[in-house]
Amino acid sequence: MHLDGIDILISEVGPRDGLQSVSSIMPTEAKKVWIKALADAGLREIEVGSFVPAKVLPQLADTAEIVTFARTIPGIQVATLVPNLKGAENAIAAGAQKITFPLSVSETHSQKNLRMTHEQAFIQIKGIVELIKSLPADKRPLFEGSLSTAFGCTLEGEVPLTKLVKVAETLIGLGCDEVGLADTTGYANPAQVKLTITEIWNAVGKDKLTGIHLHNTRGLGLANVLAALETGLTTFDSSLGGLGGCPFAPGASGNIVTEDLVFMLDSMGLRTGIDIAKLLKVREIVQAAIPAETMYGFTPDAGVPLHYVQGGHGWGLSA
Ligand SMILES: [Zn+2]
C-alpha cells in the first residue's frame, strides 16, 4: 500500500489486541464508531479483529461484520489475525486486506495459544498460502507470519535467537509475504531488538521484515521503538490507551500507547499522518463504551507542549 506523506506507518491494534485481553465486551456499533474515528484521525492500518471461535474470544465474535464495515472506510488497510486456515477463509470472505498468522516461536506458548505444535501450524500456513494463490491477484490479502514471543516467553523463558531466525526462514519458505516481530510478553530490550532485526534481515532479506509489535509490560516499549526505528523498521503496532496483553501469556499486559508513540515520532520530525488532537478525542469513545477498563498514556494526561505544532515538523530541532 502506498502512503503519501507518511514516514512511519502506525498499525492500530486496539480493536483486536486491546479488546481480546479485557473482560468487557464492546458493542459492535461502538467498535464501528471507534474504527471510523481512528481513520478520521489519520490511522492508515487498523487490525480490527481476529477470526477465532466466539466461544474462545467472545469480545471478537463480530469480527466479520467489523471487517465488512471497515472496508467501507476509504484510505485504510483492514487487517485481522487468523489462527488457522478456517480463520483465513473467513477473513478473506469478509474482505480483509492483510491477514496475520500468530506463530509462537515458543512451542509451549504455541500449544497454549493456538493448541498447535509448530508442525501443525506450518500445515495451516501452507494451506493459507495455497488459498491465497488460488485467488485472482487483486483479491489476495497480504499474508504476514507473526513471530510471537520473539523476545522471550512467560512459559519457556529465553527464546534463542537461532531458533527465532530458523522459524522466520521457515515462514518465508512456506510463502508468507513477510514476517513480523512480536514481543507478546513484553520481554524485549533495545539491544535485543537491534540484534534481532539485523539477524532476521541477514537471513530473509530486509523487505521481508518491516514491522514490530511491542508491549510496554516493563516500561521499555518506546525505548524498543527507538531501537527498531534506528535499525530501520518503519511499521509499528500500538493500541489506543495501551489496551491489550495476551490472555494466554500470564503477566503480559499493555500494548505500547498509540498516543505516546505518535507524539514521540511527530516531535522527532517524522510524519505519521495522524492528527494528535483528533486521536486524543478518540479515547472518549473507547472509555464510554468500556468504562470498566483502564486507559493508559502519558501524552493524554500531560498534553502536548505549549505552542506545539503537529505534522512532523519536529520540536526544538531548528537552529
Ligand atoms: Zn500483542
CA atoms within 13 A on the CB side of 11: 27
Q: Which are the catalytic amino acids? A: 246
Other CB atoms within a 10 A radius of the CB of residue 158 amount to 11
Q: How many domains does the chain have?
A: 1
Other CB atoms within a 10 A radius of the CB of residue 164 amount to 22
Cα–Cα distance, 149 to 155 (Å, whole number): 10
Q: Residue 68 Cα, ligand 1 centroid: separation in angstroms?
A: 23
Give pLDDT tens digits for 97-115: 999 999 999 999 999 888 9
Cα–Cα distance, 143 to 148 (Å, whole number): 15
Per the domain annotation, does 25 fall within a domain? Answer: yes
Q: Residue 20 Cα, ligand 1 centroid: separation in angstroms?
A: 10
Q: Residue 85 Cα, ligand 1 centroid: separation in angstroms?
A: 21
Q: Residue 133 Cα, ligand 1 centroid: separation in angstroms?
A: 28
- Say if residues 43 and 3 touch (Cβ distance below 8 Å): no
Per the domain annotation, does 313 fall within a domain? Answer: no
Per the domain annotation, does 4 fall within a domain? Answer: no
Ligand 1 being an ion, which residues bring their Cβ within 5 A of it? Answer: 17
Cα–Cα distance, 197 to 101 (Å, whole number): 19
Residue 212 pLDDT exceeds 80:
yes
Residue 1 pLDDT exceeds 70:
no
Phi/psi of residue 16, nearest 5 degrees: -105, -70
- Decide: helix, strand or coil at residue 25: coil
Q: Residue 221 Cα, ligand 1 centroid: separation in angstroms?
A: 12
Per the domain annotation, does 3 fall within a domain? Answer: no
Distances (CA, A) of 268 to 106, 167, 238, 319: 35, 34, 18, 15
pTM, 2 dp: 0.95
Per the domain annotation, does 121 fall within a domain? Answer: yes
Give pLDDT tens digits for 150-182: 999 999 999 999 999 999 999 999 999 999 999
Other CB atoms within a 10 A radius of the CB of residue 120 amount to 14
The residues, any chain, with a CB within 8 Å of residue 265's CB and separated by 6 or more, are: 7, 8, 10, 229, 272, 312
- Cell reading at 4: 503519501
Domain that holds residue 202: 9-302
Per the domain annotation, does 176 fall within a domain? Answer: yes
Q: Residue 186 Cα, ligand 1 centroid: separation in angstroms?
A: 9
CATH of the domain at 95: 3.20.20.70
Per the domain annotation, does 102 fall within a domain? Answer: yes
